[in-house]
A = this chain, B = another copy of it.
């Protein structure tokens, strides 16, 4: 394999709605990137065909397959050991999809797959705020709540490759129903984008007479972004939504700290645009629920990687790392 300065990897980040991909050099620079819809083809082969039509020209732009060290993919429920996506509730393809081998055969390039949140954690470790750290956790707060756990400088995969599903841990016994999994009270049901909207809707219906900017939006119009901007304008209900969400997130983070004792927790994803509105109640609740020996030790920070880049970088880093 050539490993001169012109070598590159392909990073692919498969999300529920959009699949982003890019050409990445070893320094973590995205040389070119683009995206396609994730949910257009219910047959995985058509999806891979469209991906190939879009990515192969990029590979050619940078010298062709001979300069490409491989393809790294992050996807929900992606399994590093088996190279498969298994029963991903947010993707259009059902059952067990042997994605890594399908893409490897199509492109003729070494292909590695992992969970999308694990890919983001690798990105943080190689190029982000957790650069060089040996023990940290990344939590992605977006459409879903994902997590990547780094122990002794390695992504925690566990016995079967599915470790790090922290969004599905139960934080409120008999709590809110997660429509995708059927679980009651999982973290994702509260602090994902739709979870935050659900909290706002609960507060609005319980407090129907209370003045709030949020009342002007219909149930379908309300988004976490609108709740955020209303909170910034001083809306008390919207502010209370972030206080409530941060309290739940912080309590969950305390539990995670008492499991693996990380040096840092990196929060990542669209919801983190809320900044201090989310960070302050989260940190307060985390510290409050920690055993004294853990208090005021763990750095709780937001990712500094551009959201669109981190997952692509992390996916490509899989190839450089392995």
A residues contacting B by CB (< 8 A) are 77, 86-87, 134-135, 149, 151-152, 154, 156-166, 168-173, 181, 183, 251, 254-256, 258-263, 289, 291-294, 297
Contacts and interface: CB of A to CB of B under 8 A. Distances in A.
A260 B169 contact: no
Contacts of A292: 87, 181
Contacts of A170: 251, 254-255, 289
Contact of A165 (B87, B151, B262, B291): B291
Given A173-B251, A251-B173, A255-B255, A162 B262 contact: no
A118 B87 CA distance: 34
B254 A158 contact: no
A258 B294 contact: no
Contact of A261 (B152, B161, B254, B291): B161
A161 B263 CA distance: 11
12 contacts: A149-B260, A156-B261, A159-B261, A159-B262, A159-B263, A160-B297, A165-B258, A165-B259, A165-B291, A169-B258, A169-B259, A170-B254
Nearest to A264: B159
Nearest to A258: B165
A19 B294 CA distance: 26
Contacts of A297: 160
Contact of A168 (B151, B172, B260, B291): B291
Given A87-B293, A261-B160, A172 B169 contact: no
**Number of identical monomers bound together in the oligomeric complex:** 2
Contacts of A256: 259
A77 B294 CA distance: 12
A166 B258 contact: yes
A289 B183 contact: yes
A232 to B, nearest CB: 28
The 6 closest A-B pairs by CB, nearest first: A158-B261, A163-B261, A159-B263, A135-B159, A169-B255, A165-B258
Given A161-B261, A164-B261, 18 more contacts: A87-B293, A134-B159, A152-B154, A157-B261, A159-B263, A160-B261, A160-B297, A162-B294, A164-B259, A165-B294, A166-B258, A168-B291, A169-B258, A170-B251, A172-B173, A181-B292, A183-B291, A260-B260
Contacts of A173: 171-173, 251
Contacts of A156: 151, 260-261
A264 to B, nearest CB: 8
Given A170-B251, A255-B170, A255-B255, A158 B260 contact: yes
Contacts of A158: 135, 151, 260-262
A130 to B, nearest CB: 12
Contacts of A263: 159-160
